[in-house]
Chain A
Amino acid sequence: MLDALARFGRHGMAALERFGRAHLLFLQIVSGITSLLPRPGLLVTQTYSVGVRTLVIVTVSGLFVGMVLALQGYYVLSQFAAEDSLGVMVAASLVRELGPVVTALLFAGRAGSALTAEIGLMKATEQLSGLEMMAVDPVRRILTPRFVAGLISMPVLAALFSAIGALGGYFVGVGLLGVDDGAFWSQMQAKIDWNEDVINGVIKSLVFGLVCTWIALFQGYDSVPTSEGVSRATTRTVVHSALAVLVLDFVLTAMMFGE
């Protein structure tokens, strides 16, 4: 009985400690941003591997999510003879919610897990200690460029997701289901507000980008340097990122759109 209680306490303390280490690492990463200025090449390479290589999955998913939204939305809206509002429905759900959230989930699965595995393996093969031996700060040299790259890539990816999703909705709605072309766009423009909807979506995607990259980097940096440890860290990255994104999405939505 007491043993169980002790185990529980040990887990709690370990979790709290990890939480603290994650924040310390975050501070270290952010304080290294200025050292990135003389070496923009690092950032470009990382933006390529984090952002550009996530592009295909994000655009294809965006297209299909937009198309499905149009199909499903049409089914409900046509019961009220309100098919003309299809554009509003597709664009609002994309820009406000699905764009940032689905992109963040894909981002965590595609880029986050890769980041964790990469850094975990660097640790396991003692490349990070090697850097430290050469008096190079591994946090500034390895983690900071990846962090900034993630921060830049997420809003770009989310914006692309929403834009391509809207086009996908247009193809299905107007092309396949016969919604009026003009009404589709004009209703959308009338109801979607730049500040209220689009900018809030961008803010969401920025926050998600920060959290997902941070989790991925911390899990890699904090992993047990064995093959099993790296694999567990990668799994944790995806699980924690997904949870963090969905919970934060609720909090942000309540703050932004709740009156």
Chain B
Amino acid sequence: MMKIRQVEIAVGAFMAAGLIALFFLAMQVSNLSAFTTGEGYEVSARFDNIGGLKVRSPVAMAGVRLGRVVEIRYDQSSYEALVILRIESQYDQIPDDTFAKIYTSGLLGEQYIGLDPGGSEEMLADGGEITMTQSALVLEEIVGQFLFSKAEEKGLE
């Protein structure tokens, strides 16, 4: 049997290794390092079609992530999707005529909201709404339009 002190040291090292492993999982493997503690302001945007957008999808401007989608609702009165975005509070210089589009990262990647800044002097604040939006591209619709226009060309000839 080993001396009790050596046992204690080994157990201490074991527990420390476990904590280091958890820390590694938190910082290197998962997104805890990029976690913001709910600070920021919320703005809403309406889309005709959100495609594959999900809660927690990124909101980016110029490719830099400024926030995330926190809620997606369906508005029965206007038949539109109401998307609530939470923007981190350090990014408070977004004009209120900013254009919000739903993009896809890569060919099969996840969808995100890209913001294109407008020229207004007024900045978006908590509870504001982005009025200019562009829906997600739905592949079937594009293919459908393509086939339709091809058929039309054929018909004209």
Contacts and interface: CB of A to CB of B under 8 A. Distances in A.
Nearest to A99: B25
A162 interface: yes
A160 B21 contact: yes
A163 B14 contact: no
Given A95-B25, A162-B21, 4 more contacts: A44-B4, A44-B11, A194-B26, A198-B30
11 contacts: A44-B11, A52-B13, A95-B25, A95-B30, A162-B21, A163-B25, A189-B31, A189-B34, A190-B31, A194-B26, A194-B30
Contact of B29 (A47, A52, A188): A188
A197 B56 CA distance: 14
Contacts of A155: 18
Contact of A185 (B4, B18, B28): B28
Contacts of B26: 194, 198
Contacts, number: 88
Nearest to A199: B30
Interface string B24-47: 111011111111000000000000
A77 to B, nearest CB: 12
B15 interface: yes
Interface string A65-98: 0000000000000001010000000010001000
A33 B131 CA distance: 60
9 closest residue pairs by CB, A with B: A156-B18, A163-B21, A159-B21, A194-B32, A192-B30, A194-B30, A160-B21, A163-B24, A52-B14
A157 B11 CA distance: 12
B11 A156 contact: no
A197 B25 CA distance: 10
A157 B13 CA distance: 12
A192 B15 CA distance: 24
B123 interface: no
B29 A156 contact: no
A42 to B, nearest CB: 11
A51 interface: yes
A166 B29 contact: yes
B147 interface: no
Contact of A51 (B14, B20, B35): B14
Given A55-B14, A193-B31, A159 B7 contact: no
B138 interface: no
Nearest to B34: A189
Interface of A: 41, 44-45, 47-48, 51-52, 55, 80, 82, 91, 95, 152-153, 155-157, 159-160, 162-164, 166, 185, 188-194, 197-198, 202
Q: A interface, by DSSP: helix, strand, loop or mixed?
A: helix
Nearest to A49: B7
B28 A159 contact: no
B29 A193 contact: no
B8 interface: yes
A44 B6 CA distance: 11
Nearest to A40: B8
Contacts of B33: 189
Contacts of A82: 108
A41, A44, A48 pick with most chain B CB within 10 angstroms: A48
B10 interface: yes
B34 A160 contact: no
A48 B10 contact: yes
B132 interface: no
Contacts of A80: 108
Contacts of A160: 17-18, 21
A22 B34 CA distance: 45
Contact of A156 (B7, B15, B25, B35): B15
